């Protein structure tokens, strides 16, 4: 299937929009925006886009976040802005010129949205709506918006289903974050249906192993039980060893973000939703893989301290998916949890810090 390289629109051969896209692409700068650019996936995505091997070519990469983002790699094409997406007054500053691709990753994650529903609504719902309106009002229907949704929109206990979850399964969240993601999904779907934007919605598995420190997601222990012991630190596991989770590595999800942005709109068909591929593993599987790779003593740094609230939400998340649609669309999948652990060790435990904080940074006081 032909993909979009950022400079030549090759989809929708007979569609007038494509012709506009092609005409535009030779005359203007190609711009990519990452919201949540200071976050875990925002930084990893920026780093991947800045690799010479990246096939999605661009002239400018804008990272926005409420906390000042930094470019993960020094590159003159990067602009970093402090920007609060919930403040509509400042949108002109961001959208005064055309943006070709938006990776909308800014969010208040699950644990925090559960505690602070109002903040979650502002960021997870209202900011999405503001972005959509900014594009609609400026009449830029060719803007591609790749949205990081979550499998938290599903809460079917596996026992209730006679088949694995796919895109036709009814959305029924079990947490505020899931509802907020589901509302944003609907908004993006409707704006896409009406031709105001070219939206692509990706429902992510839990991304493991997240480097650095734990975040406020209820699933943060999934990374913690690998990351902490590998760094010689005790990790608390709030769920039972038999609890299963649906996971993907950061490498694979970043590859999938870029793939989603490059796919022609027609490839998605009527609905732009895709459940990204993951793998199902139990906590026990993860601990065993860690013991094989890093030794029994390392795995023994995991302490099981049951937390009923966390277990309730995690156990409500579905763990077996039929990802035929994603695989047919060319999205990638991890092989196994050992591979994910090795990837983390290779990229994070042997890392020399290549980040730069002097890269054409521009602050705005939003
Ligand atoms: N990491 C995962 O396991 C996972 C799983 C499913 C879905 N997702 C989704 O993927 C996206 C990226 O996840 P992540 O792990 O990088 O999260 P993250 O928390 O590391 O990054 C989110 C970023 O959004 C920023 N942000 C919050 N409010 C903002 C605002 N008002 N204006 C601008 N920026 C704001 C935060 O400062 C943060 O840097 C999120 O939308 C998340 O819901 C992640």
Give the residue ranges of DSSP H helices in 27-153. Answer: 40-49, 91-95, 110-115, 117-121, 127-137
- How many domains, in total, are found in the chain? 1
Q: What is the pTM of this model?
A: 0.90
Q: Look at residue 200 and tell me if it is in a domain.
A: yes
Q: Domain for residue 170, yes or no? A: yes
Residue 310 lies in a domain: no
**Alpha carbon separation from 208 to 95, 96, 338, 356 (Å, rounded):** 33, 37, 12, 25
* Element housing 246 (H / E): strand 244-248
Residue 8 lies in a domain: no
146 CA from centroid of ligand 1 (Å): 13
Burial class, 167, CB count within 10 angstroms (exposed 0-12 / middle 13-18 / buried 19+): middle
In a domain? residue 307: no
The whole-number pLDDT of residue 5 equals 55
Choosing from 91, 154, 177, 179, the catalytic residue is 177
Q: What integer pLDDT is reported at residue 22 of this predicted model? A: 46
Give the residue numbers spanning the domain of 159. 16-206+250-278+320-334
> Catalytic residue at 177?
yes
Query: Strand 279-282 relative to strand 244-248: parallel, antiparallel, unpaired?
Result: antiparallel
Ligand 1 atom at minimal distance to the Cα of residue 208: 3
Contacts of 86 (CB under 8 A, 6+ apart): 122, 123, 126, 127, 130
76, part of any domain? yes
220 falls within a domain: no
| Residue 81 forms part of a structural domain | yes
The whole-number mean pLDDT for each consecutive block of 10 residues of the chain, a chain of 366 residues, reads 48 43 62 98 98 96 97 97 95 94 96 94 98 97 97 79 87 92 98 97 96 88 97 96 94 98 95 96 97 97 93 83 97 98 91 45 40
Task: List ligand 1's pocket residues with C-beta within 6 A.
Answer: 35-36, 38-42, 64-67, 83-86, 105-109, 123, 127, 148, 150, 204, 206-207, 215
What separation in Å is there between the alpha carbon of 148 and the centre of ligand 1?
A: 9
Q: What is the CATH number of the domain that holds 81?
A: 3.40.50.720
pLDDT for position 336? 97
Closest ligand 1 atom to residue 127 Cα is: 31
What is the pLDDT at residue 111? 87
Q: How far are the Cα atoms of 230, 287, 291, 301 from residue 296, in angstroms, in the given order?
A: 11, 9, 5, 9
């Amino acid at each position: 299937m032909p993909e979009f390289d950022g400079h030549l629109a090759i989809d929708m051969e007979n569609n007038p929009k494509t012709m506009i896209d092609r005409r535009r692409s030779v005359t203007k700068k190609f711009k990519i925006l990452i919201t949540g650019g200071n976050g875990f996936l925002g930084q990893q995505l920026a780093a991947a886009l800045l690799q010479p091997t990246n096939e999605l070519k661009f002239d400018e990469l804008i990272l926005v976040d409420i906390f000042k983002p930094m470019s993960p790699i020094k590159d003159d094409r990067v602009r970093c802005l402090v920007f609060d997406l919930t403040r509509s007054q400042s949108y002109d500053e961001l959208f005064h010129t055309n943006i070709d691709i938006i990776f909308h990753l800014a969010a208040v994650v699950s644990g925090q949205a559960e505690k602070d529903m109002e903040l979650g609504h502002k960021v997870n719902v209202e900011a999405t709506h503001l972005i959509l309106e900014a594009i609609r009002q400026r009449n830029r229907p060719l803007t591609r918006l790749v949205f990081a949704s979550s499998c938290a929109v599903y809460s079917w206990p596996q026992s209730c289903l006679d088949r694995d979850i796919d895109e036709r399964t009814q959305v029924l969240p079990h947490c505020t974050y899931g509802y907020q993601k589901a509302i944003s999904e609907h908004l993006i779907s409707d704006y896409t249906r009406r031709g105001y934007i070219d939206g692509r919605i990706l429902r992510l598995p839990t991304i493991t192993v997240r480097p650095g420190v734990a975040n406020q997601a209820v699933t943060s222990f999934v990374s913690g039980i690998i990351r902490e012991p590998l760094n010689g630190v005790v990790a608390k596991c709030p769920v039972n060893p038999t609890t299963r989770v649906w996971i993907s590595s950061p490498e694979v999800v970043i590859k999938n973000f870029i793939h989603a942005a490059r796919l022609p709109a027609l490839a998605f068909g009527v609905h732009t939703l895709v459940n990204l591929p993951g793998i199902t593993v139990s906590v026990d599987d993860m601990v065993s893989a860690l013991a094989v790779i890093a030794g029994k003593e390392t795995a023994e740094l995991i302490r099981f301290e049951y937390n009923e609230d966390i277990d309730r939400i995690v156990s409500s998340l579905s763990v077996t998916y039929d990802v035929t649609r994603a695989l047919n669309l060319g999205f990638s999948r991890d092989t196994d949890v050992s591979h994910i652990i090795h990837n983390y060790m290779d990229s994070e435990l042997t890392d020399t810090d290549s980040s730069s904080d002097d890269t054409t940074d521009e602050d705005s006081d939003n």
